[in-house]
């Protein structure tokens, strides 16, 4: 005899299955992707981690990816998957971005880096278990400060979009941050921004699904959305004194975006840095062909 569940039970069963499936890690031919949370000073940081199918001794040094404001750990997914073929890759939602808890008021880049360092230590990284770090735009400044604060835990740093600009430029950028005070004002501003965001995605060839997910994630901070930009713009005044403190080997990646020239100009500030210029790519987070970017990273890291 066939038993037909009552509608309420069927709905409960379906809901349970959805929850179960959402918790199942994503498997590919060469790595497994999982999501997780780790404690830090603001509560918890959300991260996406990929583990390669290779045995431990065959894996390269792990790497942490820190995205640009206000993107989360789904940024640069093609590069994430490519690097995960032979090393553990941890893509982090910075404090207050994506699924991560964050501060109630703007804090400096150094504090962002300290919070991420706490999360990495919670994941088991330390001077005895070091890792590399890569950051884009605001994430590049955060990665640099992470390298300064943790010289034995961070082995090498890859920085793209280093915001080293004249005082007039960063002060102008700071003064033009959106002044919304309520969620309603925020959404009015965001709706006005949508045509520009869509046009940029079309210009760089970003797939619609990737653009949709990245854009949706960028809404989660609401009124705290500009905290990262505030920190990055203010950091520009300290960058000439802070960046020479990075003692690790540094790879600067200059893409064909608005921070290409500042990244090139930052080269003399580092003790031990090299530059790879990729002006054919118009966005630091999306590469129509990931192979040249991955090749530059592997040459530097491995």
- Write down the domain spans for the chain: 25-301
Q: Is 199's pLDDT higher than 90?
A: yes
> Would you state the pLDDT for residue 30?
87
> Would you state the pLDDT for residue 26?
57
> Would you state the pLDDT for residue 14?
41
Q: What is the three-state SS of the chain?
A: CCCCCCHHHHHHHHHHHHHHHHHCCEECCCEEEEEEEEEECCEEEEEEEEEECCCHHHCCCCEEEECCCCCCCCCCHHHHHHHCCCCCEEEECCCCCCCCCCCCCCCCHHHHHHHHHHHHHHCCCECCECEEEEEECHHHHHHHHHHHHCCCCEEEEEEECCCCCCHHHHHHHHHCCCCCCCHHHHHHHHHHHHHHHHHHHHHHCCCHHHHHHHHHHCCCCHHHCCHHHHHHHHHCCCHHHHHHHCCCCEEEEEECCCCHHHHHHCHHHCCCEEEEEECCCCCCCCCCCCHHHHHHHHHHHC
> Would you state the pLDDT for residue 57?
87
> Would you state the pLDDT for residue 277?
96
- Who has greater pLDDT, 203 or 24? 203
Query: Which residues make beta-bridge pairs with 254?
Result: 277
Q: What residues contact 238, with CB distance under 8 A and at least 6 apart?
A: none
Q: Give tens-digit pLDDT for 107-135.
A: 999 999 999 999 999 999 999 999 999 99
Q: Is 71's pLDDT higher than 60?
A: yes
Task: Report the candidate in 217, 195, 198 with the shortest Cα–Cα distance to residue 208.
Answer: 198
**pLDDT band at 4; cut points 50, 70, 90:** very low
Q: Is 29's pLDDT higher than 80?
A: no
The dihedral built from the CA positions of residue 284, 287, 292 and 298, taken in this order, carries a sign that is positive
**pLDDT band at 19; cut points 50, 70, 90:** very low
**pLDDT band at 18; cut points 50, 70, 90:** very low
Q: Is 7's pLDDT higher than 50?
A: no
Buried b (16+ CB within 10 A) or exposed e, 8-41: eeeeeeeeeeeeeeeeeeeeeeebebebebbebe
Least confident of 5-19, 102-116, 182-196, 240-254: 5-19
Mean pLDDT of all residues in 79-106:
95
CB 169, CB 155: distance < 8 Å: no
Mean pLDDT of the chain: 90
User: Class assignment of domain 25-301?
Assistant: alpha beta
Mean pLDDT of all residues in 45-56:
93
Q: Give tens-digit pLDDT for 245-283.
A: 999 999 999 999 999 999 999 999 999 999 999 999 988
Chain CA centroid to CA 174, Å: 21
Mean pLDDT of all residues in 68-79:
88
**pLDDT band at 28; cut points 50, 70, 90:** low
**pLDDT band at 94; cut points 50, 70, 90:** very high
Q: Is 6's pLDDT higher than 70?
A: no
Q: Give tens-digit pLDDT for 30-40.
A: 899 999 999 99
This prediction's pTM: 0.88
> Would you state the pLDDT for residue 5?
45
Task: Report the candidate in 242, 249, 297, 296 with the shortest Cα–Cα distance to residue 269.
Answer: 242
Q: Is 235's pLDDT higher than 80?
A: yes
Percent of the chain at pLDDT > 90 equals: 79
**pLDDT band at 287; cut points 50, 70, 90:** confident
Mean pLDDT of all residues in 43-51:
96
Query: Which residues make beta-bridge pairs with 276?
Result: 253
CB 84, CB 32: distance < 8 Å: no
């Amino acid at each position: 005899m066939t038993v037909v569940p009552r509608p309420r039970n069927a709905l409960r069963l379906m809901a349970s299955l959805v929850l179960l499936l959402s918790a199942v890690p994503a498997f590919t031919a060469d790595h497994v992707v999982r999501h997780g949370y780790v404690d830090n000073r603001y509560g918890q940081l959300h991260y996406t981690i990929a583990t390669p199918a290779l045995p431990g001794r065959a894996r390269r040094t792990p790497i942490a990816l820190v995205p640009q404001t206000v993107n989360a750990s789904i940024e640069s997914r093609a590069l994430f998957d490519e690097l995960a073929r032979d090393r553990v890759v941890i893509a982090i939602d910075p404090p207050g971005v994506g699924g991560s808890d964050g501060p109630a008021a703007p804090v400096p880049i150094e504090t962002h880096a300290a919070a991420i360092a706490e999360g990495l230590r919670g994941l088991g990284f330390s001077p005895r278990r070091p890792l590399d770090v890569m950051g884009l735009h605001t994430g590049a400044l955060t990665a640099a400060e992470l390298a300064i604060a943790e010289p034995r835990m961070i082995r090498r740093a890859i920085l793209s979009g280093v915001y080293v600009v004249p005082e007039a430029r960063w002060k102008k950028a700071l003064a033009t941050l959106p002044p919304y005070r309520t969620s309603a004002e925020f959404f009015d501003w965001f709706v006005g921004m949508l045509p520009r965001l869509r046009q940029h995605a079309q210009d760089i060839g970003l797939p619609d699904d990737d653009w949709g997910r990245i854009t949706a994630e960028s809404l989660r901070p609401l009124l705290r959305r500009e905290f990262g930009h505030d920190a990055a713009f203010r950091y520009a005044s300290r960058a000439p004194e802070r960046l020479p403190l990075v003692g690790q080997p540094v790879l600067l990646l200059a893409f064909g975006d608005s921070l290409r020239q500042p990244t090139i100009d930052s080269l003399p500030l580092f003790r031990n840095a090299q530059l790879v210029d990729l002006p054919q790519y118009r966005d630091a987070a999306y590469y129509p062909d990931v192979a040249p970017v991955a090749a530059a990273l592997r040459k530097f890291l491995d």
